[in-house]
Structure 1
């Protein structure tokens, strides 16, 4: 029997981000006879040219700038097909969320891409949903055979209800329909198993990863060199770093890699920092260029002060180059950042407390810092090697039953 995989993504390979999906595809190409990638939305006109040649890239459901929604009538028709989606605890606000989500699903199922390119592949295929929301919202509307052949990966916004005001329209239905659920952290496994104990048997941690790398250089000029990398949006709370550096008592250089709506705010705050603090905001970089930068720049510590996370690949990339991390204790971050690989701080850490912790790191013995660098790189190599973890994902997918 042909081993065929249909991988559902949000934007990849029609985006400049999420390069690790390509590394997964390289491994999948060794394990499956056919691979088809179905993206919901295109952010670029052309797909990633480095996708393995064996992989068939399907047209996106929505071309760049072309996302639409189905009518309310079509949404009601979907609800009639799956009345169990209606939650008796819905408030007016949640009803609006359910309505818009049903219209999104209706638009996907009515699209030419779905009817001509995706739907004909479903029977006899393994189905892999990289995210637990978005394209995965179609899962409750598939046949039972197709549902049992599906693995759904879950990260943060598609896993924790509190990141969505306590409600995700199809979350419970997706959890019950999927053949296997794969949070990227043990924290996610615990959270999902607690909320759905009757589904715990099919929940397994399948981690993300990055490429193990060689150690980057050490600083030699006596300046504490900090780096962060994230889309500058409110959940990342990058302003806390700037506010912490207002208390700096030693020379500091902070580089933030990434663009976004909060970048202008960061630029304004940076202008008010003391002279001993310098800030570099280069903006967005191609994902493949970020690890290369860690190989050449002497960064002392990576910073992540998000209010919510899964297990950040951005931290893995820094640690792979021997850069320890300071991070907030949210989601599964503690599975990556521990005493020997960095500094874990409370989610509600104040700017003053954050600086105090940074100052202690700057003053610590060089031998301890070197041990943290070594431990960081070793942990990524042992637990977060993207290709090793992709093989585990492939194994889990291939164990699912596929009806002929």
Structure 2
């Protein structure tokens, strides 16, 4: 049986968490074909960052990725759905977003139909969109042509919650749910959000992500320095500036390391230089983009007292799962589905609009009281261990076709 996975940019970049999912799924399928659907032309000709991570029976379909374009015309169903969406949230930006998704979805649909219509009559194929976006839209269209296959999509955070999406809404979710077989939300909160707004409770289920067991427990600092790690893209929604501003008021020894880069990197480094360089008790480093293994090596070999995210919106971040797999306490804002993974048992759940004072208080709390690291790891093992979660996911797919 073949599993066709529509990704964003993986195996080029992003979606590093597929490195944790594919090794499990490949045990259940004869072949897995990867088709990234958001690559720019210049990116396609680059060497994929994760190509060496792929199991032997996972194939990157570069030929199909090249074919994905914006040149196709809309079909009647998408025209109707597009205009149904417009009155609810019309603006020039919203209008462009609607038609961008329509063109992209129709293009992907045509490519998939051409490649897999005949093949699906000769072998069983499961089509899996990693995001609830135009990949899932294309599968909803494909359902009319390919009857004997399974069409499914994951749903995370920005592709579920309207308030988390650029422009404040996610178009075509109703269209997707009408055509697709199943949607697997990574959180219960996401599942509830979708069913309350769109119905289809029989189609929407929870299937959590997960990360491997690193086999070690990170140890806290024992030299009086409070060591903080954060990990995210440096974009406005992540609100990393709040961490910098909070550190500027800290009066005890602190070391902060941020893993991740992005368009705000220069601006945030400038802010950190301005607010933190004059403080003798604060050391900081914004490392920019680094391979995921660098982060794991840090967790394996360096003391970390707390992991923090101050994001304005999230699904359930894999970065939190990774920190917790080492037993590291987590401070996080109560946005998206974060309350499903962060509580006072494993860290501190901040208010969704946490201010600097609240963040400082959370640092002091963790510094003074700490958390039982074996308890944190036990919680992670029970809910976010990749082997168990992705095995269950694969078994559900095979039972459903």
TM-score after normalising by structure 2: 0.89
Q: What is the deviation of 1:41? A: 3.6
Q: Does the CA-based 8 Å contact 2:312-2:333 persist in structure 1?
A: yes
Q: Output the CA distance in 1 between the equivalents of 2:52 and 2:307.
A: 30
Moved more, 90-99 or 284-293: 90-99
Between the aligned partners of 1:379 and 1:37, the Cα distance in structure 2 is 32
Q: Counterpart in 1 of 2:217?
A: 215
The structure-2 alpha-carbon separation of the partners of 1:177 and 1:110, relative to structure 1 and needing over 3 Å to count, comes to: closer
* 1:30 aligned counterpart, secondary structure: coil
Change in Cα spacing, 1:276 to 1:192, as seen in structure 2 (3 Å) is: same
Q: Does 1:285 align with 2:296?
A: no
SS of 1:395's partner is helix
Residue in 1 aligned with 2:95? 95
Alpha-carbon contact 1:14-1:41 (below 8 Å) kept: no
Deviation (angstroms), 1:333: 0.8
Q: Is the 8 A contact 2:28 2:394 kept in 1?
A: yes
Aligned equivalent of 1:334: 339
Residue 31 (structure 2) pairs with residue 34 (structure 1): yes
**Count of matched residue positions in the alignment of Structure 1 and Structure 2:** 384
Q: Equivalent residue for 1:205? A: 206
Measured after TM superposition, the shift of residue 342 of structure 1 is 0.4
Greater mean deviation of Cα atoms: 238-247 or 78-87:
78-87
8 Å contact kept, 1:302–1:318: yes
Structure 1: gaps (5+ residues): none
**8 Å Cα contact 1:105/1:137 also seen in 2:** yes
- 2:9 aligned partner: 11
Q: Which moved more, 1:81-90 or 1:339-348?
A: 81-90
Paired residues for 1:262-277 under 5 Å: 262-271=264-273, 272-273=275-276, 274-277=279-282
Structure 2 partner of 1:179? 181
Is contact 2:230–2:259 with CA below 8 Å preserved after alignment? Answer: yes
Q: Take 2:101 and 2:78, find their aligned partners in 1: how far apart are those partners?
A: 15
- TM-superposed deviation, 1:23: 3.0
1:354 is paired with a residue whose SS is: helix
Aligned match of 2:52 = 49
Cα distance change on mapping 1:324 and 1:60 into 2, 3 Å: farther
Per the TM alignment, residue 67 of structure 1 is displaced from its structure 2 partner at its CA by 7.3
CA contact (8 A) 1:85 1:173 kept: no
What TM-score results when the alignment is normalised by the length of structure 1?
A: 0.88
Contact 1:10 1:134 in 2 (8 A): no
Q: Flag structure 2 segments of 5+ consecutive residues without an equivalent.
A: none
Instruction: Tell me the CA shift for residue 289 of structure 1.
Output: 2.6
How far apart are the structure 1 equivalents of 2:176 and 2:222? 52
Larger RCO, structures 1/2 (Cα 8 Å, 6+ apart):
1
Could you list the per-position Cα deviations for residues 127-186 of structure 1 after superposition, in whole angstroms to 9, with x for gaps in the alignment?
Answer: 111111142231232134559711210001111112233432321111222211111011
Look up the SS of the partner of 2:52 in the other structure.
coil
Cα distance between partner residues in 2 of 1:206 and 1:376: 21
| Deviation by residue 1:299-354 (Cα, 9 ceiling, x = unmatched) | 10000000000001001111111111000001111111111100000011111221
In the alignment, what sits opposite 2:314? 309
Shift of 1:290: 1.5
